[in-house]
Amino acid sequence: MTLAFAYVRASTQEEVRQGSNKRQKTIIREYAKSKDYELEFFEDRAKSGKNIQRPDFERMLKSLDAKPKVVIVAKIDRFARSLSDLLRMLEYLDQKGIGFISVNDPGIDTTTPNGRLLLQILGAFAEFERNMINSRTKAGREQAMNRGVKFGRPALKTRNGSFIDRRKVIELKERGLSARAIAKSMECSITPVLRILRENRLRAE
């Protein structure tokens, strides 16, 4: 028999009580029986799929050196909650020569040519979406700059609204004044003084 890893997950305790993981296992077992796969299960209970910080999910990834032929899930949202996460994980599996099958999602089977083609198409759409977002962000930034909007850290000001002279802060520090004394001298809070000193790698004492 061929080794296959099976991953099941329930997002909440309520899903666990309602038997979500048991149903997923049944679906995977029925599929594996027809393919003559020997299953090793990895199961997370009440763990969100929004990130990969899931104990058994991480244990599964660390166990891939056992060389399963495929990783099987009942449904793709049990494995990843975003297209970018899914593609990243499938690329990782592919680099190790391991396939991926989602039983209840027709076409999601990287052990077949059609399944690999579908994932390539999804990857192209994901890249297109990223490029569109970057393009819109850049255009919006340029329009804002044309209207006079300034980006970056806000200018540091004194209590009366005038700008803090950074060179004077450094000069007073070099004369031996403490950060608190500089702030009092320049009529500003100590926070911007500390920031200027830190940026110039000067001690605050």
Going along the chain from its start, the domains and CATH numbers come out as: 2-124 (3.40.50.1390), 153-205 (1.10.10)
pLDDT at 150 > cutoff 60: no
151-184 pLDDT, tens digit per residue, is 555 556 666 666 788 888 888 888 888 888 888 8
Beta bridge partners, 99, equal: 70
Residue pair 30/37 in contact (Cβ under 8 Å)? The answer is: no
49-58 pLDDT, tens digit per residue, is 555 568 899 9
Long-range contacts of 165-169 (CB under 8 A, 24+ apart): 166/196, 169/193, 169/196, 169/197
Q: Is 48 a catalytic residue?
A: no
Q: Which of 11, 162, 178, 189 is catalytic?
A: 11
Residue pair 45/8 in contact (Cβ under 8 Å)? The answer is: no
Q: Which of 7-11, 25-29, 42-46 has the highest mean pLDDT?
A: 25-29
pLDDT at 3 > cutoff 90: yes
Q: Which residue has the higher pLDDT, 193 or 25?
A: 25
Which residues fall within 8 angstroms of residue 63, CB to CB, at 6 or more apart? Answer: 5, 40, 42
Q: Can you give the pLDDT at residue 183?
A: 85
- The strand order across the sheet containing 37-45 reads 37-45, 2-10, 70-73, 99-102
pTM, to two decimals: 0.59
